[in-house]
Amino acid sequence: MLRLYTHPDCLRHDPGPGHAEQPARLRAVLQALDHDRFAALDRIEAPRATRAQLLRVHDAEHVDRLFAIAPAAATLRLDEDTVMSPGSLDAALHAAGAVVAAVDYAMSGDDRRAFCPVRPPGHHATGEQAMGFCLFNNVAAAAAHALEVHHLKRVVIADFDVHHGNGTQAIFEREPRVLFLSSHQSPLYPGTGSEDERGVGNIVNGTLSPGAGSAEFRELWDGQLLPRMHAFKPQLILVSAGFDAHRADPLADIRLGQEDYAWITGRLLALARAHANGRLVSTLEGGYDLGALAASAAAHVDELMK
């Protein structure tokens, strides 16, 4: 059974006109999933993450600062890319809470999967700071929850966003119970994710050159990343599902199509069934062409429902 966790407050995060990470992104995904073929989705309203859940991966200073500076009106720019609006804090709390709740669901039985179409995204947020459109690190909070509450010893985070998940890597690079694997364009923001960054043997970065397409993406996953996942034998798979490596995306130069997202989703689901009793939780990261994002997310969910 596939559950969908989201919350209307995730639409209230509004960085302002012209910003790439706009509410229309989530609307496009939800509209794509408002179709007869997705009628069987179990749709759940996401809770807010608790302070304790956030503090597993973020410094108290970071959490307290975002609460303290959350604007009551207008917008507040945290850096060149990252903006808070009056609705941003609640949106970010529901985004992190969605993925944590989805882990609880996945761990409650066999072959349980979830997709969390939420925003703001999370994988650039480090333990100490918001950056790259991200306030809290949603997938990291979920992984830490799986370790502490469900006592797992092997959790995989698979990140196929076109940008390196620097925040997720930084949070877990000394945590051997978490294997973080990322495919991403290089060079590209945030400038991290070289293949010699290995943590304590639990970080696997695969880089794609500008202009790479389906063949290079599939070869990277089949040849390097998926074999490492198989060897790790994860008890739970978490996915940072960014769809900005699509050929139509304006922020990068990789040339994937929605069929490639269906392919990698199928691979990850097969691996979850082989090692993790089918337990997989996916959360939305990037994707900035609305049509490509909607089609890619729909292809992803189609595979997760199989």
* DSSP assignments along 4-37, one per residue: EEE-GGGG-----TT-SS-HHHHHHHHHHT-SGG
Q: Say how many domains are in the chain.
A: 1
Residues 6+ apart with CB under 8 A from 100: 47, 49, 53, 141, 142, 145
Calpha distance 269→189 (Å, rounded): 28
Amino acid identity, position 208: L
Among the listed residues 63, 70, 84, 62, the one whose alpha carbon sits nearest the alpha carbon of residue 15: 84
Domain enclosing residue 87, as ranges: 2-304
The answer to whether 124 is a known catalytic residue is yes
Per-residue pLDDT of the chain in tens (306 residues, 90 and over written 9): 899 999 999 999 999 999 999 999 999 999 999 999 999 999 999 999 999 999 999 999 999 999 999 999 999 999 999 999 999 999 999 999 999 999 999 999 999 999 999 999 999 999 999 999 999 999 999 999 999 999 999 999 999 999 999 999 999 999 999 999 999 999 999 999 999 999 999 999 999 999 999 999 999 999 999 999 999 999 999 999 999 999 999 999 999 999 999 999 999 999 999 999 999 999 999 999 999 999 999 999 999 999
- Catalytic: which of 7, 58, 123, 124? 124
Calpha distance 162→214 (Å, rounded): 13
Calpha distance 148→161 (Å, rounded): 26
Residues 6+ apart with CB under 8 A from 29: 117, 284, 293, 294, 297
Residue 34: predicted pLDDT: 97
Calpha distance 285→244 (Å, rounded): 9
CB 245 within 8 A of CB 287: no
Residue 1: predicted pLDDT: 86
Among the listed residues 99, 120, 102, the one whose alpha carbon sits nearest the alpha carbon of residue 23: 120
Where does 169-219 show beta strands of DSSP type E? 178-185, 203-208
CATH code for the domain of 71: 3.40.800.20
Calpha distance 127→58 (Å, rounded): 4
What stretches of the chain show up as alpha helix (H) in DSSP? 23-32, 51-55, 60-69, 88-106, 138-149, 166-172, 214-220, 226-232, 258-275, 290-304
